[in-house]
C-alpha cells in the first residue's frame, strides 16, 4: 500500500519520499520528540507565543523546584488540569507511526521531552523520558518512590493531593521542574545513543530547551544524518539533510507507510 501523497504539494511529497529513502538506507536511527508531537492529542505546549502555558504563567512561580518545596499544594493545584488532560489524552497517528518504525527496526530509541507516556501507550518500547514522567511519584519526606496508578485517579477525579502512605508528606510527580537536574541515567543513555546513531530525527521539537537541544549536535558530530519535522524553525535547520515544516501527525504516518507498506 502506498502512502496517499496526492493532497500534498510537490515539494512536501518529495521531502517525504526523500526522508523515507534516507531512513531506509541508513537505519540505526534515534528520534527526539517534543511538545509538537503531543499537541495533536490535545495536550497544550509550553512555549508557543500566545497559546503556550508559559505565556499565561510564570514558570518560576508555579513549576520550579523552589516553588514546589515551599508550596507543593499550589503546584499540584496548578498542575491538576494539565495532569487531567494528559491522563485522558490518546496517542495520535504520529505516535503510532514512530512505534511502527521502531518495530520495523528503523529506529532504536525515542528520546522524548514529553511527560505524557503516549509513546509507550502507542507501542514504543525504547523510550527515554529526559524530562521525567507522570507514571511515578516520590515522597518529599522519606523519598520513597511509588507507581502513580494508586494515587493519580484520586488526584485527577477528586482533587485529592497525593500523600505518602508511610509518612504523610506530599508526593511529587517525577516530572522535571525548573531548577531540577535531569534524571542522570536516562540522560547518559540519551547521550550514548546519540553518539552511536546514523540518522537523527527531530519530530515536533523547536530545540529551544537545553540541554536536550544539544543532543542532535552529538549525532551530527558522529556524522549522523539529520531530519527535522517541525512547524517552526529550529537553530539546526541549516544542518538538516531534510527539513519539513508541517504537522508531525500528518507527515510521520506517510513516511511510515512508505517504509513499511511497500
Among 88, 131, 231, 261, the active-site one is 131
Q: Which three three-digit cell numbers place residue 106?
A: 528503523
CA distance 231 to 73: 35
Does the annotation mark 80 as catalytic? no
**Residue 171, CB-side half-sphere exposure with 13 Å CA sphere:** 27
Please give the C-alpha separations between residue 151 and each of 128, 138, 161, 216, in angstroms, as whole numbers.
23, 12, 8, 36
Q: Which three three-digit cell numbers place residue 197?
A: 546513531
What residues are annotated to the active site? 131
Amino acid at each position: 500500500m502506498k502512502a496517499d501523497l496526492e493532497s500534498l504539494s510537490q515539494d512536501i511529497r518529495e521531502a517525504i519520499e526523500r526522508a523515507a529513502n534516507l531512513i531506509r538506507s541508513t537505519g540505526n536511527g534515534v528520534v527526539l520528540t517534543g511538545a509538537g508531537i503531543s499537541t495533536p492529542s490535545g495536550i497544550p505546549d509550553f512555549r508557543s507565543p500566545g497559546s503556550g502555558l508559559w505565556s499565561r504563567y510564570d514558570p518560576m512561580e508555579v513549576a520550579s523546584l523552589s516553588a514546589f518545596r515551599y508550596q507543593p499544594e499550589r503546584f499540584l493545584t496548578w498542575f491538576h488540569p494539565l495532569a487531567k488532560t494528559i491522563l485522558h489524552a490518546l496517542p495520535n497517528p504520529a505516535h503510532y507511526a514512530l512505534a511502527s518504525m521502531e518495530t520495523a527496526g528503523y529506529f532504536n530509541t525515542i528520546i522524548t521531552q514529553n511527560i505524557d507516556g503516549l509513546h509507550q501507550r502507542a507501542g514504543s518500547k525504547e523510550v527515554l523520558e529526559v524530562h521525567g514522567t507522570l507514571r511515578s511519584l516520590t515522597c518529599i519526606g522519606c523519598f520513597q518512590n511509588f507507581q502513580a496508578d494508586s494515587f493519580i485517579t484520586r488526584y485527577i477525579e477528586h482533587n485529592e493531593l497525593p500523600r505518602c502512605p508511610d509518612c504523610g508528606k506530599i508526593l511529587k510527580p517525577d516530572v522535571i521542574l525548573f531548577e531540577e537536574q535531569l534524571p542522570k541515567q536516562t540522560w547518559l543513555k540519551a547521550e550514548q545513543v546519540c553518539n552511536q546513531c546514523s540518522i537523527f530525527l527531530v519530530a515536533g521539537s523547536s530545540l529551544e530547551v537545553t540541554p536536550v537541544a544539544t543532543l542532535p549536535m552529538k549525532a551530527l558530530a558522529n556524522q549522523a544524518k539529520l531530519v527535522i519535522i517541525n512547524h517552526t524553525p529550529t537553530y539546526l535547520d541549516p544542518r538538516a539533510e531534510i527539513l519539513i515544516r508541517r504537522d508531525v501527525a500528518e507527515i510521520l504516518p506517510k513516511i511510515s507507510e512508505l517504509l513499511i507498506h511497500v
